[in-house]
Amino acid sequence: MTLFLALIAALVLGGGLGWLFLNDPGYVLIAWHQTSVEVSLSLAVLMLVLVSVVGLVGLELLLGVFGLRRIILQWSDQRKVRRAGALLAEGVGLLQRGEAARGEKRLMQAVKLSPHPFAAASIASDSARRRHEFRLAEDYLDMATGAADHLPLELARVRIWIDGGQWEAAAARLKSLHSHYRREPALAELLVDVLIRLQAWEDLAGWMPKLSGMLGHERAVALAVDAHRQIMGWMAQTGSRVERAASLRRLKAYWEAVPAALKQQPDLVEAYAEAMVRQGFDDEAEPVVREALGHHWHNGLIALYGRIRSSYPDEALQQARAWQSKRPQSPLLLLTLGRLYLQNRDWDAARASFEQSLSLGKSTETYAEYVRLLQHLNDPESAHYLVAGLQQLTQRPLPHFPMP
């Protein structure tokens, strides 16, 4: 439509000028010092058009054929890049001085000039995200949309959603991205993190076999251990008491799928064994804990060993005594020994172990076991130790008041 109107306007203008030239051709006088030239108006217009066309053709040849246009564009692009770099540096400096508004403004100016806008947009977005201005943070990222940094841009957006509490949306986007970026560690770490936040244990259990191989560095390993612990705890909680064998098979199958490197983590072994104990499979848990303690001494595992109700408590006690010969001053091992003595109905030895444990380190749990034993023995000292144990739970000692 615009081209048609422009053509009509040109025809009308051309017809009007032609009619004027026919009725009053006029003239043009060109004078220079003592020389003058007089030509008709129509000839002057024709000469002007010819000179303009020749000039435009010459300029196009100069710009195109001889590379002048490329040189000018390169100079213009380089100037924009230098300006964008200066704005980026200035914006970061302002952010470091606490001037968030001015710093983000400079960064957005850099985004408009830079051929790679993601860096400046990401820094501005992180600044807004730290201030919990999540909508503004996402707006900054939108200004870099279309850049080549598609995955980093999407991951930055997901982090905004996570910090803003939009965990369901974050999980959905990460699952969608995973189909295109299956080997991306940062994506795997974020997906595990958000599923833990959602406490979507069943969903997480399905994803962990796919993601475990991507969780290799130190923080990701800790995240993977936490995820596996939570899943096995969920399995123990939801396991059927009626179909106990099926619950145990499910737990063992999940453990088999855990990467071998993670199976060496004592925290994870403890979670696996504790899940079996919670489902009533103490005899299956005992060798797992015993073998793990043979490789790595771990307080959580030694405490769990004392809570296992093995069918052979005498053998468990013998194993704990062997450990005591190497660690005679461990209050936690002495607590475990006391519990194993209880299982073997050796009340005096259990009492002695609890007392020795308390002499090496005060523990509310040890006090509780000791007081329970004294009460069953009808020992009058139980009340005294009960008070001492309860004081372990207070932030400060009880004040001295008159007592009956």
Q: What is the pLDDT of residues 379-388, one digit of tens each?
A: 777 666 666 6
Largest CA distance in the chain: 138
Residue type for position 229:
R
* Number of structural domains in the chain: 2
Which DSSP state fits 262? G
Whether the per-residue pLDDT at 196 is higher than 80: the answer is: yes
Local confidence band at 219 (pLDDT 50, 70, 90 cut-offs): confident
Residue type for position 397:
P
**Among 258, 292, 256, 299, which Cα is nearest to 273's?**
292
Task: Identify whether the C-beta of residue 304 lies closer than 8 Å to the C-beta of residue 298.
Answer: no
CA distance between the termini of the chain: 104
**In the prediction, which pLDDT does 243 show?**
77
For residue range 1-56, what is the model confidence (pLDDT) as tens digits?
665 665 676 566 666 666 655 666 666 667 777 777 666 666 666 667 776 777 66
Query: Which of 165, 197, 221 is the last residue in one of the domains?
Result: 165
d(CA 171, CA 149) in angstroms, rounded, equals 20
pTM for the complete prediction? 0.74
345 domain-assigned: yes
232 domain-assigned: no
CA dihedral for 278, 283, 286, 288, sign (positive or negative): negative
Which DSSP state fits 399? P
Q: Rg (Cα) of the chain, in Å, rounded?
A: 40
* Mean pLDDT, rounded, for 236-263: 86
**In the prediction, which pLDDT does 393 show?**
60
d(CA 336, CA 334) in angstroms, rounded, equals 5
Whether the per-residue pLDDT at 402 is higher than 60: the answer is: no
52 domain-assigned: no
The residue range of the domain holding 102 is: 82-165
**Among 99, 95, 97, which Cα is nearest to 120's?**
95
- Give me 159's structure tokens: 């982090």
310 domain-assigned: no
136 domain-assigned: yes
Query: Which of 111, 133, 165 is the last residue in one of the domains?
Result: 165
For residue range 160-187, what is the model confidence (pLDDT) as tens digits?
999 999 999 999 999 999 988 988 999 9
- Give me 246's structure tokens: 């099926």
Beta-carbon neighbour count of residue 282 at 10 Å?
A: 17
Query: Which of 118, 147, 165 is the last residue in one of the domains?
Result: 165
CATH number assigned to the domain comprising residue 343: 1.25.40.10
d(CA 264, CA 341) in angstroms, rounded, equals 30
Q: Can you name the residues that pair with 35 across neighbouring β-strands?
A: 32
293 domain-assigned: no
Task: Identify whether the C-beta of residue 308 lies closer than 8 Å to the C-beta of residue 285.
Answer: yes
Compute the 3-state secondary structure of the chain and give helix, strand, coil in percent, each to the nearest 5.
75, 5, 20
